[in-house]
Structure formats: structure tokens, C-alpha cells
Amino acid sequence: MEVIKIKGTDDTPSVILDKDNGIFEISGRSLPEDVTTFYDPILNWIESYQENANTKTVFTFKLVYFNTASSKLILDILMKLEEMHENGKEVLVKWYFPEDDEDMEEAGEEYADIVDVPFEQVSYSL
């Protein structure tokens, strides 16, 4: 399966989706001008990955900021992970947030309440 590696910019997050090495990570800032164009390849990749997913998938979010448009697509990613979980795959979402950023911590808590996927909140210092 093709690896997706997107280098982050001021407006778009870094993305690594690497099935063979078990790395699934979105990090940085997410406020792309066209959120659909940016996230569609990611959602399509996850859709394909679901068909032959690893035994365990640990999906890491290390976002420091995301806009409202991105929040919907982050939820779409989480819904796909929930589907995998419901289909018997082991899935863990790791939501990293800066220890002094209550908004990012709350965002993780809200997502954890919406989707039925094991969720781990991890604070870190900048």
C-alpha cells in the first residue's frame, strides 16, 4: 500500500500514513484553504486501508491548532477508525495536546465522547 507523507506548512499539517511501519500521524496546524482537497486523499487512503488493516492501528493526532472546517474532517477520520474498531480491529487514538492548551485538550475529550474508539489523551510540554 502506498505511503502518504505530506510535509506540513503554516496552514497544513504533516501527515504520515505508513501501513508497513505502523505509523499513522497527523501533526501541526490544520487550516488549509481547501480542506476537502487536502483531506480527501487521506480519507481515501484510510478507506482502502480498512479493507486490509493491520492487527493494531495506533492513530496519533498532534495538532496544535485546527479550524472549524478541519474539525469536521478530523471527525470523518475518527468515524472511519470507529468503523474499523466495530469490525473487530484493534484501534487506539492518541490525542496529544500541549499541557497548557485547554482548547486542544477539550477538543480531544469531545471527539472521544463522539466516537466509540479507545482514546488516550497525552499532554506534553512545548
Domain limits, the chain: 4-118
CATH class of 4-118: alpha beta
- Strand pairing partners for 27? 14, 62
pLDDT band at 27 (very low <50, low <70, confident <90, very high): very high
Residue 71's pLDDT is 98
Quick check: 126 pLDDT over 90? Answer: no
pLDDT tens per residue, range 37-51 = 999 999 999 999 999
> How many whole angstroms separate alpha carbon 60 and alpha carbon 118?
12
SS3 label, residue 38? helix
> How many whole angstroms separate alpha carbon 85 and alpha carbon 116?
8
86: Cα within 13 Å, side-chain hemisphere: 8
Instruction: Take residue 3 and report the three cell numbers written for it.
Output: 505511503
- Strand pairing partners for 57? 91
Kindly report the pTM of this predicted structure: 0.96
